[in-house]
Chain A
Amino acid sequence: MKLLLLLALASVISCNSKSTNKNSVTKKEKTFYIAFSAEPTTLNPFSSSDTYSSQVQVYVFDTLLVRNINNYKLKPGLAERYEVGPKEKYYTFYLRKGVQFHDGKPLTAEDVKFSFDAIMDDAFKAAHQRPYYENIKSVKVISPLVVRFYIKKRYFQNLSIIAGMQIVSKHFYKDPKKKLNKVILGSGPYILGKYDKGRSITLKKNKKWWGHKTKYLSKAYKFDRIFIRIIRDENLRFESLKKEKIDFVGLTADQFVKKTKGKPWGTKVFAKKVANKSGKGFGFVGWNLQKPMFKNKKVRQALTHLMNRDLMNKKFKHGMSTLATGPWYIQSDYASPRVKPLEFSSKKAAKLLKSAGWKDSNKDGILEKNINGKLTPFRFTLLFASAASEKYLTIYKEDLKKEGIDVVLKQVEWNSFVKALDEKKFEAVMLGWSGSIEIDPKQIWHSSSSKNGGSNFISYSNKQVDNLIEKGRLISDRKKRIRIFRKVFELIANDAPYVFLFNDKYTLYGHTGRMDMKKPTYKYSIGTDFWKAKAE
C-alpha cells in the first residue's frame, strides 16, 4: 500500500503543474451536467465531422435563423429578418445590430461571408461539408449588416440550409494553419470554459447573448454552466445518472423497462417516456435490386410477410415500437397514414412466391426458379454490421427456412460493410436510417443517387417516384410538398424495396430531480435547452 501511495503521490505531483486554472464555482451557479459517449475529435468547425463536436458547436455558434421547436417555424437568429429574391434566386439577410463574438469583436456581414467561403476553400479542410452547400453559388456583402446568398438551383431546403449555417468569426479563424482543435470562438449562448482533455468540457453562459433579450428565447439556456462529461460506457452513463453525476441521459427501451424500478427512481431520478414528432429512424433489410432474385415486387413483398415483426417488437423492444410502413418514420408529417404495415403471414408469402414462379421442384426443401435458363435455388447472404441485429435476423432466418428460402447471415466490420455497399457486392443488408423532421427523399430513393457511392445502394429506381421527388424538391410551400411526398411514400412502400422494420413510439430518457422543466416535451424535441435548475 505504501508503494501505491507513493506512486499516487508522484502522479499528483506530475499533474499539479497543470492545475493552474482553479475554477472557483460559487454555490449559486447552476450547472447542467450532461454526458457525451465520446470526446469530440476536434472542435474545429471546418474539419470536424463527428456528432460530439457539432453538439458543442451548437452551444457556441449562432445561426442566421433558429427553429421554434414547438412548430418548427424559422425565427430570427443573428438575422433580424430576411427577404427572398425573385424566383428564390437569392436570399438577403439583415443582421442584428450589436452582436459580439465571445472576444468582444463585433459580428458583421464579413463574418457571414467568411463562414461560407472557408468551407469552399481547400486550405480549411472542409471538403466533406461541401455537398451540403452545393446549391449555394456565392455570398455577397451588401453592407456591414446586410448579406446576400446567391442560389444555383431552386430547392425547398435552401433557406433552412443557409439559416442553419454556423457563423464563425473571421478574425479568429482566418488563418487555416492555426491550431483550432481545442479552441472554439463564436457568438452563441455558451462560451468554452475549461477543456479537460479526455474527461470533460465546461461551457459558461454568455450573459451578453442577444437571445436572452428576445421573447422566444428568453426561457432558453438558463444554466450558468454546462458541464459535459465524457463517459464512454453505456452502463457507466446510466449509473452516473442514478448517482446524480449527470442530469440527463437517453434510455434504451430495455433500460427503461427493466432498470428504472427501485430506489433512486421516482425520488431522485426520474424516467420519462414521451411521444412527439421529433425525427425518428427505422431499421430495414434492403435487397440489392440488381440481383435477378429480388427484381420481382411479389418476391419482396413475400420476404416482408415473412418478417415476424410483432414477435420481435414484443420480445426485444417491449412493445415500444410501431411497425414501420414505409421509407420514413410514421409520425412524420410526410408519411402517408393510408399505408398499413404488411403483416406476418406465411400463407400470403407462399402464395406470392408461387405466383412469382418459385417452387421446390427437386424436393430438397429449397425453392428454385429458372433464371436465365439456369435453375437457381433461393439462397442468399445477408450482411449486417451491428451485433444487435443478429437476434432479429435469427428469427427471420428460421421463418424463411420454413418457406424454403435459405439465408446465410454474415456479420462484417463497418468499414467492410460500407465497402460492400459502395461496390454493390451484396445480396441483402440490414442497416438503419435515422430520421429528420424535414424530409428529402432524393438521397436514398432517387435513381440518380444509386451511382457513385450514393445512398441508394440497393439501386431502387421508379420513374414515377423520381419525377415526384424532383417536383417536390422545388416546392417551398410545406403543405403542398407534404401532399407530393406522401404519394412518394405510398409508391415506395408498395414496391417493398426494403423490409421496413420499426419506428420508435417514444423518446425515452432519464433526468434528475434537480431539473425544472415547463413541460416534458415539445412537438419536435425534448427541449433540454429550455430546462432550468430548480430553485433551492
Chain B
Amino acid sequence: MFKYILKRLLMMIPTFIGITLVSFFIINAAPGGPVEQRLKEIRFGNTSSGGEASATSTSNSNYGVSDEVIAALKKQYGFDKPVHIRYFIWLKNILTLDFGESFSYEEPVIDVIISKLPVSVQFGVISLILTYLISIPLGIRMAVKEGTAFDFAASGSLFVLYSIPSVMLGILLLIFFAGGSFLDWFPLGGLYSDQYYNLSFWGKVQDRIHHFILPLICYMIGGFTVLSLLMKNSLLGELKKDYVRTARAKGLDERKVIYKHALRNALIPVVTGIGGFIGVFFAGSLIIEQIFNLDGIGLLGFKSTLDRDYNVIMALLFITSCVTLVGRLISDIIYVIVDPRMNFK
C-alpha cells in the first residue's frame, strides 16, 4: 500500500507541471496583462474590474503613454523578461512555496488567499456536513419507499430545487426576507454585524447564525439532489442482489436486511466521495459571495482573472489542483479500506 501511495504521489509531479505550464501560458496569452491594466487605468480611469464599459477622460495623460513609462511599468512588475523565463522563475519560487506578490493587493499572494479563506471554509464545511446529514437518510427512505407517493414527491422536489438558479434565489430571499420593503427577518448579507465585536459570546454565535441562514440555503440548494439520488440508486441496486434475497428468505427482520446488510454496501460509493472534502476549503461561489456580500475565494478568483493578477490566479490554480489530486488519492484509499474486494494491485 505504501508503494502504491508513493507511486501516486510521484505521478502528481508531472501532472502539476502539465497543469501549471498550460495555464501559465494561456493566462499570459490572454489580452491585457498587469502592465496593460495600469496603462488602461491611465487612459480609461478605473472602470474595468466590474466589466463596465465606461471610461474616464479626467486623467491628464494627454497623448499616448510615453515609452519610458511603459518600460518603468514593465520593470515594476517583472515583465521585462520573456514568458518562458518567467515560468521558470515562478516554478522555482513555487518549490519554496513562494507564490509571489499580488499585483493589485500588494500583498503576498498567500496572505490574500488566507484572508479570503474563512468565508469559504465556513460555508464549505457546514454545507458539506448538512448535505450528508440530510441526503443520506432521505436517499435511504426514497429507496425503501420506492414507487410510493413519498418517493415521487421527494424526487420531484429535489429536481425542482436542483433547477433553481442560485442567483435568482439569492436575490429573492434578500428582498423578501431581508430588504427594506417586505419582511425584515435577516440581515442584508455579510458575515456578522457592526456591533459584533461588542457582543457577548452567545451574542456572537447568534449573530453568526443569523447571517448564515440565507446564504447557506443558496449554497446547499443544489447539493442535495445529486447525493440523495446517488444514495437512493445505490441502495436500490443492493436491494436487488442475491444476498439480500437470501437474507429475506431466512426470515430476517426487514430493518436488519436494509440497515445492516444492504446499506453497508450501498454506502461505499457515497462514502468514497467524501475524499473530495478538502475541496470545500476552497469551495467558493462567485455568485453567492457577490449577492450576499461575502469576501471569499470565488470572488477573489473572478476578480483576479479580470484584473489579470497572474500570481493570484496561478496560486489558486495550483492550490485547487493540489487539493483535487490529493482528494482523489484519499478517495481511492478510503475505497480500499471500506471495500475488501478492492486492493492496490
Binding site for B on A (CB under 8 A): 3-5, 7-9, 11-12, 14-16, 19, 21-24, 37-39, 41-42, 44, 47, 49-51, 122, 125, 127-128, 130-132, 134, 157, 161, 179-181, 197-200, 227, 230-233, 235-236, 239-243, 245, 262-264, 269, 279, 281, 283, 384-387, 389, 413-419, 430-436, 440, 442-444, 446, 448-449, 451-455
Total of A-B residue pairs, C-beta within 8 Å:
245
User: Top 4 nearest A-B pairs by Cβ distance?
Assistant: A242-B180, A452-B64, A198-B295, A415-B32
Contacts A/B (CB < 8 Å), 30 sampled: A5-B209, A7-B125, A8-B205, A8-B212, A9-B205, A12-B204, A41-B104, A49-B46, A50-B49, A125-B76, A132-B59, A132-B61, A179-B106, A198-B295, A199-B190, A231-B189, A231-B293, A242-B180, A281-B56, A385-B53, A415-B36, A419-B32, A432-B53, A433-B57, A434-B57, A446-B62, A446-B63, A451-B63, A452-B63, A455-B61
The CA-CA distance from A429 to B18 in the complex, in Å, is 38
Q: Are B130 and A127 in contact (CB under 8 A)?
A: no
Max chain A Cβ within 10 angstroms of own Cβ: one of B180, B204, B291:
B180
Residues of A within 8 A of B57 (CB): 433-436, 443-444, 455
The CA-CA distance from A15 to B192 in the complex, in Å, is 11
Interface size for chain B: under 10, 10 to 19, 20 to 34, or 35 or more residues? 35 or more
Instruction: Given the known inter-chain contacts A11-B208, A232-B290, A236-B174, please indicate yes or no for A448 contacting B75, CB distance below 8 A.
Output: no
Instruction: Given the known inter-chain contacts A11-B122, A44-B106, A415-B308, please indicate yes or no for A23 contacting B197, CB distance below 8 A.
Output: yes
0 or 1 for each of B97-116: is its CB under 8 Å from A? (1 = yes): 00000001111000000011
In the complex, which of the residues B32, B42, B54, B133 contacts A131, with contact meaning CB atoms closer than 8 Å?
B42
Q: Are B290 and A449 in contact (CB under 8 A)?
A: no
Q: Are A42 and B106 in contact (CB under 8 A)?
A: yes
The CA-CA distance from A15 to B184 in the complex, in Å, is 27
Instruction: Given the known inter-chain contacts A8-B208, A417-B53, please indicate yes or no for A19 contacting B197, CB distance below 8 A.
Output: yes
The CA-CA distance from A124 to B92 in the complex, in Å, is 26
Which of B66-74, B157-165, B317-325 lies on the face that meets chain A?
A: B66-74
Q: Are A7 and B60 in contact (CB under 8 A)?
A: no
The CA-CA distance from A132 to B115 in the complex, in Å, is 34
Instruction: Given the known inter-chain contacts A128-B38, A198-B116, A240-B188, please indicate yes or no for A433 contacting B106, CB distance below 8 A.
Output: no
Instruction: Given the known inter-chain contacts A128-B38, A233-B290, A418-B32, please indicate yes or no for A239 contacting B54, CB distance below 8 A.
Output: no
Smallest distance from the beta carbon of A446 to chain B beta carbons, Å?
7
Q: B2 at the A/B interface (Cβ < 8 Å)? A: no
Instruction: Given the known inter-chain contacts A199-B191, A455-B57, please indicate yes or no for A128 contacting B205, CB distance below 8 A.
Output: no
Q: Are A12 and B175 in contact (CB under 8 A)?
A: no
Within residues 133 to 186 of chain B, which ones have a CB less than 8 A from any CB in chain A? 133, 171, 174-175, 178-181, 184
Q: B281 at the A/B interface (Cβ < 8 Å)? A: no
Residues of B within 8 A of A38 (CB): 49-50
The CA-CA distance from A232 to B56 in the complex, in Å, is 21
Residues of A within 8 A of B51 (CB): 385-387, 413-414
Q: Are B174 and A235 in contact (CB under 8 A)?
A: yes
In the complex, which of the residues B31, B54, B184 contacts A434, with contact meaning CB atoms closer than 8 Å?
B54
Smallest distance from the beta carbon of A253 to chain B beta carbons, Å?
15
Q: Are A453 and B65 in contact (CB under 8 A)?
A: yes
The CA-CA distance from A385 to B53 in the complex, in Å, is 6
The residue of chain A having its C-beta at the shortest distance from the C-beta of B175 within the complex is A239
Residues of A within 8 A of B212 (CB): 4, 8
The CA-CA distance from A123 to B44 in the complex, in Å, is 25
The residue of chain A having its C-beta at the shortest distance from the C-beta of B103 within the complex is A41
Q: Are B179 and A47 in contact (CB under 8 A)?
A: no
Residues of A within 8 A of B52 (CB): 386
Q: Are A418 and B122 in contact (CB under 8 A)?
A: no
Q: Are B118 and A130 in contact (CB under 8 A)?
A: no
Q: B41 at the A/B interface (Cβ < 8 Å)? A: yes
Residues of B within 8 A of A8 (CB): 205, 208-209, 212
Instruction: Given the known inter-chain contacts A127-B73, A263-B181, please indicate yes or no for A199 contacting B53, CB distance below 8 A.
Output: no
In the complex, which of the residues B106, B181, B209 contacts A181, with contact meaning CB atoms closer than 8 Å?
B106
Q: Are A448 and B63 in contact (CB under 8 A)?
A: yes
Contacts A157-B60, A281-B54 known; list 15 others, CB within 8 Å.
A7-B125, A19-B197, A23-B198, A42-B104, A47-B106, A127-B73, A131-B60, A132-B61, A181-B107, A199-B295, A239-B175, A243-B180, A263-B181, A433-B54, A434-B54
Q: Are A3 and B130 in contact (CB under 8 A)?
A: yes
Q: Are A415 and B209 in contact (CB under 8 A)?
A: no
Q: Are B64 and A431 in contact (CB under 8 A)?
A: no
The CA-CA distance from A93 to B105 in the complex, in Å, is 35
In the complex, which of the residues A50, A233, A430 contacts B46, with contact meaning CB atoms closer than 8 Å?
A50
Q: Are B54 and A431 in contact (CB under 8 A)?
A: yes
Max chain A Cβ within 10 angstroms of own Cβ: one of B39, B57, B130, B299:
B57
In the complex, which of the residues A7, A51, A132, A442 contacts B126, with contact meaning CB atoms closer than 8 Å?
A7
The residue of chain B having its C-beta at the shortest distance from the C-beta of A282 within the complex is B54
Q: Are B43 and A453 in contact (CB under 8 A)?
A: yes
Q: B45 at the A/B interface (Cβ < 8 Å)? A: yes
Instruction: Given the known inter-chain contacts A3-B133, A435-B57, please indicate yes or no for A454 contacting B73, CB distance below 8 A.
Output: no
Q: Are B64 and A451 in contact (CB under 8 A)?
A: yes
Q: B96 at the A/B interface (Cβ < 8 Å)? A: no
Q: Are A232 and B174 in contact (CB under 8 A)?
A: no
Q: Are A51 and B184 in contact (CB under 8 A)?
A: no
Residues of A within 8 A of B36 (CB): 415, 418-419
Q: Are B201 and A239 in contact (CB under 8 A)?
A: no
The residue of chain A having its C-beta at the shortest distance from the C-beta of B309 within the complex is A41
Q: Are B58 and A389 in contact (CB under 8 A)?
A: no
Q: Are B130 and A4 in contact (CB under 8 A)?
A: yes
The CA-CA distance from A326 to B305 in the complex, in Å, is 36
Residues of B within 8 A of A232 (CB): 290, 293, 299
The residue of chain A having its C-beta at the shortest distance from the C-beta of B60 within the complex is A132
Residues of B within 8 A of A419 (CB): 31-32, 36
Q: Are A11 and B72 in contact (CB under 8 A)?
A: no
The residue of chain B having its C-beta at the shortest distance from the C-beta of A454 within the complex is B64
Residues of B within 8 A of A24 (CB): 198
Smallest distance from the beta carbon of A30 to chain B beta carbons, Å?
15
Residues of B within 8 A of A50 (CB): 41, 46, 49
Q: Are A197 and B115 in contact (CB under 8 A)?
A: yes
0 or 1 for each of B290-320: is its CB under 8 Å from A? (1 = yes): 1111010001000000101000000000000
The CA-CA distance from A72 to B30 in the complex, in Å, is 43
The residue of chain B having its C-beta at the shortest distance from the C-beta of A435 within the complex is B57
Q: Are A431 and B75 in contact (CB under 8 A)?
A: no
Smallest distance from the beta carbon of A390 to chain B beta carbons, Å?
11
Q: Are B291 and A236 in contact (CB under 8 A)?
A: yes
Residues of A within 8 A of B290 (CB): 232-233
